[in-house]
Every structure is written in C-alpha cells, then in structure tokens.
Structure 1
C-alpha cells in the first residue's frame, strides 16, 4: 500500500499538503485537492487510524454498553446512534453486560483503557458503585433509560406511560388488574413502571390483590410462568394484566392462549416496548412505543456535543412516547 510520501510524489505536492487533505485542515487549492484525492483513490491508500489518533488525541470510537444484544430495543438504539456517529466519522465499540451489574463496571474500565472518545450506557441497575465509577471516568458520558446524577441522560417517562396503560384498562371497564414486573433495582422498568401502575389504581380507588402481582425477568418464558402463577394463586382472577415489557406480555398471552382464555374478553393484556413481534401475535398487543431509534440518535448527539465542545455540559432529555392501542385490550 502506498505511503503519504509516495502519494505526495505521485501528486507532485509536499507531504504536508497531502496531510492537509487527509485531515481536512489548512488551505489547499481545489485543483490540487482533486489531484491528491485522485491519487489516493487510485492507490487505495487508507490512513493509519492509530497514527491519526496519536496526532489528534482522538480515537473516533464511542463505547456503547448494552444490557443485552438480543432485543429489538438494543438494535434500535444502536441503529439510531450509528446514523449520527458514522456521519460524524465515529465508530461504535459494543459491550454486552447480559444484565450483570459487575460487567457494567468492568466495561466502563475496559473502554476507558481503550481510550474511547466517549461512552453511552443503556443502564439497568443503577447503584452507588456504578455512579462512582462513572464519575471517575473523566470522559464524555451519556446514560440512556436511567437517571444518573451529574451526567447527561436520555430518559423515558416510564411512570406516566404506566399510568396511561392502567388508565386505559380502567376506561375499558376493568377493575381487577394484575401486574407483572421486574426487580426494582432496575429503577426505570422495575420501580417507576410499578409505581405508575399502583398510583393510578389508588387514584381510582381500586385495590390490587397480592396474588395478582408477580415478578419476572426480561424474557418471554418468565412472562409465561408469571401469568401461570397469577391464575393459579388468585381466588378471584383479574380481568386484565399489565406487563412491564412486551416480552413478559407475550409470554403471558402464550399461557392464556394455551389454556383457552379469550383475549381480551376473558383477560386483557398490555406491555411496553412496541417490539415488531407485538404487532404480529394473536391478538396484536397493546403497548407503548418509546421510539428507541430516536433515543439512540439523541444520545449520539449529546456525546458529540460534549466531544466537540470539550466540556462536561450536562443535558437531560425526556422523550415522548406513543400508546398503541391494539386488540389485546
């Protein structure tokens, strides 16, 4: 492969002029610029990213830490980030924690060692140790989905979305409403969605039996098992169930279909996430669309602003959502 010296010789210019074209810095006449670009294209020259990083002190890499790479939510987030970051000349380095708290800490340290220009964290379990490690990073940082103090955040209104779903059930005539949640260490999904549900029930003067409330994890099988426990343990079966994720809701629907419950006449179901599958199951699932691709784009814009301004300006953005009313309610 050609070197900068060889490209300069072939274009009959100095190495400094070639460097200016490669880095888009300094004045170069349009005629000379075209001549250099033509030589670069003919030789297939690719500048050394490592050498460029040494000169600019930028790796042009953003670390992205995800709780899982298996869901549509993660895919949409990354797609949105990539649209913005690639246009700005940045690459993404993905890290998958598989919902393990310790891995979040480990990847923060690893990405710092790799000298990424910034980190975007789709956080799940916010704890004191995680917050302390984030504060020690001293590089641009954005958290998605969980509010973390002293850093930029992209947030969803989980509390109000849960209230809206619960209100929809009530407006359809349901008073006995069950709930399938996740561990409350996940503040957004586990705590705020649960609080939104219970607050709305209380505001409407409706009680929730203990047997109607179950906890699962982030997969379909867990929703299946939780629905089974609600039905088996209830003296009076609820007429509706709110699951805090689409996967939990889809699992619940699977159990109900297998046991000859008609949806929504025997049991209404709603979830959160607007996954593609939610629109194709029988019946299509009522859910909340958080527009995750937009969240990814906004997170990328925040990290780029921090990098470009070389400061730690803190911004918090709460995104809108859409309640998609379908045939499961």
Structure 2
C-alpha cells in the first residue's frame, strides 16, 4: 500500500508539499497540486484520517449532547446544527443522555480527551459550574442562557414568549387556562419560567389546571383525557406541538383553544396556534459560536403563529 513518502518520491516533491496538498493548504501551486493528486489517484491512495487529524490539530468533528434521540425538540435543533456543520464540512456525533449526569460527565471527559473539536449542549442535567471547567479543553456552546458563566450560549426568549402569551390571553378575557409542562421546575429552567409567568399573570387557583410530565404525543393523550373532565376550560397552553396533538384526540378546537410550541408539522396539519422559538436557528447559531474566541450570547426572537 502506498504511503506519503511514495507519493513524494514519484512526484519529485517533498513530503511537506504532499502533506500540504492532503490538508488543502492554500500555499501550493496548482501545477504541484494537480500532479500530486493525479499520482494519488493512480496509486488509489487513501489518506490516513487519524494521522491527518493529528497533523492539523483538528478532526472537523463535533459532538452534540441531546437529552433524547426521539424528541421533536431534539430533531429540530439538531437539524439546524447539521445544516450549518454540513456547509463547513464538519461531521456531527449525537450524544443522547436521558438527562443522566453520569453519562453527561462521560461525554465531557471524552471531549477533554480530544474526541471532538467542540461540543454543543442542547439541554443537560450537570451544572454550568461543571461545564465551565471543560472550556480549557475545547469550545462548548449551550442552547440555554448561561447567565454570568463565561460559556457561549444561544438564548431562546422563552420567558418573554410566555409572558406575552399569558398577558394576551388575559386581555382577551380568558381565565380558565390549562397548562402542560415537562420536567419539574427544579430540573428545567423552561418549566420554571412558564410556571412563574402563569402564576404571576393568570394565577393558580386550581391545581388541576396543570398537567405535569408531558413530553410526547402519548403524554398529550393522557392530558387530554384529564382536561376533558374539567368544566369551563377555555384554553390549553402546551409545552410542545406533539403534546397538543395528543390532547386534541379528546378535546375539540371548537370548544377549547389549544396552543402548541415549536411550529412542528402536527400544528400545521391540525391547524392550531403555536409559539415558534425557531430552535433550528438556535442550532445554526450554536455551531457558529463554537469557533468564536470570546464567549458570547446570541438571542433568537420568537414568533406567535395564530391559527383559527
């Protein structure tokens, strides 16, 4: 099997020049590049990827930590990351965690061992105090507000969207508003934000108006069974379009307004309103932030899509 020295000998150029061609170095004349590439093709030479990565110091490979592999939120944000990574020629490895802190730590330790050039964390259980210690090994971007920690992040304006939505519903005269949430407020900043906005603007007079642990279409079906027993229910605000779609198996839009989240296909097919936080744009912005030298926060605006 041919190696880089064989190519150098046959081409009449140095090993350094051949190496520059292999790594797409700009300072090589087209004459030299063409001759070397032709010899590589004739010899059916395939460069050693690991050796090339060691030479360049980069693998063009990033990791994306996601809580679940089969969740609409993960699908949409990963889609944005993949689009941006593909344009720049990067490979992407997805790392599902199921919010297990031990698994998350294993992935962070692999990052420290140079398994990838960088990591995007879409959602996590470990603290920012832990994550910040790994910045010395490789760039990390989080898809949630990191506050005062020097970790680049993409901030989705969830709090603003919830406040605006509940304020608008109250102004329209709605009082009996149901709500679904996923993880507990101790585990999820998003859950904390929506509950705080709901309590401060609508007021929690009846605990049965809130259904917890909703993440999937199937969870939505169970929530719909519950909400169907409540009298005078006017609106249900959900934490996901698929949850809303499940609720609509037992609730009629003609009787109760159902509002979803993230503008997925289900909301378009079933024609219900939704809050679009543009998490695909969040994924694209997160990829770009990986390569900036200074930590920075990028805010993505939301859009309320009203359907009747």
- CA positional deviation for 1:219: 1.1
**Match for residue 212 of structure 1 among 199, 209, 212:** 209
Is 1:275 equivalent to 2:260 in the alignment?
A: no
Give CA deviations for 1:121-146 in whole Å, capped at 9, x if unaligned: 01144xxx532331221221100135
Structure 1 match to 2:32: 32
- Contact preservation (8 Å) 1:124, 1:186: no
Partner of 2:28, secondary structure, is coil
Q: How does 1:310-321 map to 2 (within 5 A)?
A: 313-321=294-302
- Contact preservation (8 Å) 1:66, 1:74: yes
- Contact preservation (8 Å) 1:161, 1:196: no
Q: TM-score normalized by structure 2?
A: 0.88
Structure 2 match to 1:309: none
Give CA deviations for 1:161-188 in whole Å, capped at 9, x if unaligned: 1123324434554221111112213434
Structure with greater proportional helix content: 1
Partner of 1:305, secondary structure, is coil
Unaligned runs of 5+ in 2: none
Structure 2 match to 1:322: 303
Give CA deviations for 1:48-94 in whole Å, capped at 9, x if unaligned: 22112322333332111011121333223223222333333432121
**Distance verdict in 2 for CA 1:61–1:96, change over 3 Å:** same
Q: Aligned-pair RMSD on alpha carbons?
A: 2.4
Structure 1 match to 2:238: 243
Query: CA separation in 2, counterparts of 1:45 and 1:77?
Result: 38
Query: CA separation in 1, counterparts of 2:124 and 2:256?
Result: 30
Is 1:159 equivalent to 2:156 in the alignment?
A: no
- CA positional deviation for 1:285: 2.1
Q: How does 1:241-320 map to 2 (within 5 A)?
A: 241-256=236-251, 262-263=252-253, 265-281=254-270, 284-306=271-293, 313-320=294-301
Query: CA separation in 1, counterparts of 2:10 and 2:163?
Result: 68
Query: CA separation in 1, counterparts of 2:13 and 2:75?
Result: 45
- CA positional deviation for 1:288: 1.3
**Distance verdict in 2 for CA 1:42–1:295, change over 3 Å:** farther
Query: CA separation in 2, counterparts of 1:316 and 1:26?
Result: 33
- Contact preservation (8 Å) 2:104, 2:124: no
Structure 2 match to 1:15: 15
Query: CA separation in 1, counterparts of 2:39 and 2:89?
Result: 22
Structure 1 match to 2:188: 187
- Contact preservation (8 Å) 1:146, 1:188: no
Moved over 6 A (4+): none
**Distance verdict in 2 for CA 1:43–1:279, change over 3 Å:** farther
- CA positional deviation for 1:189: 2.6
- CA positional deviation for 1:7: 2.3
